[in-house]
Every structure is written in C-alpha cells, then in structure tokens.
Amino acid sequence: MGYGLADGLMWHKGRPCDTGGCVEVAVTSGEVLVRSSVNPGLLISLSHDEWLEFLASAKEGWFDHVQ
C-alpha cells in the first residue's frame, strides 16, 4: 500500500498505480477523504459510517458493473 503526506494528511493508495490516475484516501477524526492523484484538489468527503458502507458494498460486488 502506498502513502504520502500532503496537506498535513496521510494519503493512502490501495495498490500500485501504473496509469497515474490513482485513488487516494485519507482518514481524519471526523471523515474519510477520497481523491484522485490526477486532480488532488477535488475531494469527496464521507463520514466513517458512509466509508464502511461503501467498502462493504464494493466487497459484495455492487459496483462491479461500473466500468
């Protein structure tokens, strides 16, 4: 898992990314932030509960049809 410190946050990458368009995640005390390495200024903010629900849905295959 890759990571980097930016804007005082620890950003994590889920896996090595050869295409340059990686999804990065940072966790704070009140939210989980999601961004693209291509456009790091555009953030999606999720509550911890929303993040956990998203992960569970992804693991169950709910987004497998999205290309």
What pLDDT, on the 0 to 100 scale, is given for residue 18?
74
What pLDDT, on the 0 to 100 scale, is given for residue 3?
47
CA distances from residue 60 to 25, 27, 41 in whole angstroms, order as listed: 20, 23, 30
Instruction: Output the tens digit of pLDDT for each of the chain's 67 residues.
Output: 444 555 688 988 877 777 777 899 999 989 999 998 888 888 999 999 999 999 999 999 999 998 7
What pLDDT, on the 0 to 100 scale, is given for residue 35?
92
pTM: 0.79
